[in-house]
Structure 1
Amino acid sequence: MSVRHISTGSPFEARIGYSRAVVADGLVHVAGTTGYDYATMTMPEHVTDQCRNALATIGQALAEAGSGLDDVVRVRYILPDRADWEPCWPILSECFARALPAATVFFADLQNPEMKIEIEVTARVR
């Protein structure tokens, strides 16, 4: 079995010791991803902007792995504030309209107070 690790260059990956994604056994496991713009290391204030950034980062990791958002089979959402969940629905339903993955939402604190959503996915490799 071969395993491939994918990094986005996030400083958190190096400091904490994890990969953005791991490709193994025909699946891509993407780590919990928050809404940072990793090019500028800035975090938007609004949850919907963070949601879009997280999905873009996930999409890039999936593409590097030979997969894509349409190949996602499982998604987990973590938000500190329940009120931020519903504003993300239109973005998520558009993003996963084709894949229709199994999904779970959790409400819990995230690593930093400015983080409003974290998204983790598992996808098939094409």
Structure 2
Amino acid sequence: MAERYAISSGSAYEEKYGYARAVVDGDRVHVSGTTGFDYATMTISDDVAEQAEQCLRTIDAALTEAGGSIADVVRVRYLLPDGADFEACAPVLSRWFGAVRPAATMMVVGLLDPRMKIEIEAEARLTR
């Protein structure tokens, strides 16, 4: 049977809403939608590119804890309340995923908190 376990980022949202930052299921890692909050301080930047950077730092930390890295990401979803903000994220996304080239989708959606300008969800396959 494949090993399955949860990883937490320490976000208050995880406990409040009953989810894990990531779930490792065998060689797959499913990373929950991750916003630009710095979960250690529960602060968030007003800048969408800085929020994208923080999202990816949080995702990278979860993947590292799972025994992987950003290089293992095979699928990413970008969720933004304002599609016009996506272009400002391009340099950040290119720096993190330019060599990885995961399958990607960008969607315009409503997010839980109006301070949130981007949420990123990722799936990875561990190559350990």
Bucket of the pairwise TM-score, normalised by the shorter protein? over 0.9
After superposition, the C-alpha distances for 1:75-120 in whole angstroms (9 at most, x for unaligned) are: 0000000111000011101100221000000001101000000000
- Equivalent position of 1:18 in the other structure: 19
Runs of 4+ in structure 1 deviating by more than 4 angstroms, as ranges, are none
Report SS of the residue matched to 2:59. Answer: helix
TM-score (norm 1): 0.97
- Equivalent position of 1:73 in the other structure: 74
* Match status 1:86 vs 2:77: no
* Match status 1:54 vs 2:17: no
Contact kept in structure 1, 2:10 and 2:40, CA below 8 Å? no
Query: In the comparison of the two structures, how many residue pairs are matched?
Result: 126
TM-score (norm 2): 0.96
Root mean square deviation of aligned Cα = 0.7
Structure 1: distance between partners of 2:83 and 2:125: 30
- Where do 5+ consecutive residues of structure 2 fail to align? none
- Where do 5+ consecutive residues of structure 1 fail to align? none
- Equivalent position of 2:107 in the other structure: 106
Structure 1: distance between partners of 2:82 and 2:98: 25
